[in-house]
Homo-oligomer: A and B are copies of this chain.
Amino acid sequence: MAAGPVSRFPVPELADLPQDIRERILKVQEKSGFVPNVFLALAHRPDEFRAFFAYHDALMEKPGGLSKAEREMIVVATSAANDCLYCVVAHGAILRIRAKDPRLADQIATNYRKAGVTPRQRAMLDFAMKTATRSAEVEDADFAALAAEGFSQEDMWDIAAIAAFFAMSNRLANVMSIPPNDEFYALGRG
């Protein structure tokens, strides 16, 4: 797998990409030391690339009641429910770094009910998982359970929107068969 292709679909050369996309990719490379495969795979379609990362950043980088580590918890839990190798491994790495915990990602990916999280985070993950797997059944009681843990209405939107965005992301990565970069497996295990 390590030496396999970055996507089932054509992968552009960096030099052939529109300026803004090339710059975005070079920026992440500079920061991380490598280019995460999802950037290269999605760059095949520049307009979709731009929308995808604009949406991603709007949910994952903005300020709000959820910490950045908590947002990654949602990504890892729901991506595991969708058996998405790329997302579990890549966002597992980010979660380890943001939570400064070398084990939390593996716990959440395998069985979030057994992970070392607070009751508030457990409620957050229950809601995210229901959004990911049975969203048509989400009802008032689910929102009440979040409110009981002190989540604001904006937090509730964030939880649902992150789970929904990665429902899309997981399906793209699964169908494109994007492998995680080798670097992600080891990051933050320190």
Contact = CB atoms under 8 A, between A and B. Distances in A.
Chain A residues touching B, range = 35 or more
Interface in A21-54: 44-45, 47-48, 50-52, 54
A54 B58 contact: no
Interface stretch (A12-20, A66-74, A163-171): A163-171
Q: Which 4 A-B pairs have the closest CB atoms?
A: A1-B116, A83-B136, A51-B55, A164-B171
22 contacts: A1-B115, A1-B116, A8-B143, A9-B153, A45-B161, A47-B58, A48-B55, A51-B55, A55-B55, A80-B110, A82-B135, A82-B136, A83-B110, A85-B111, A89-B110, A109-B109, A111-B136, A114-B177, A131-B175, A138-B174, A164-B168, A164-B171
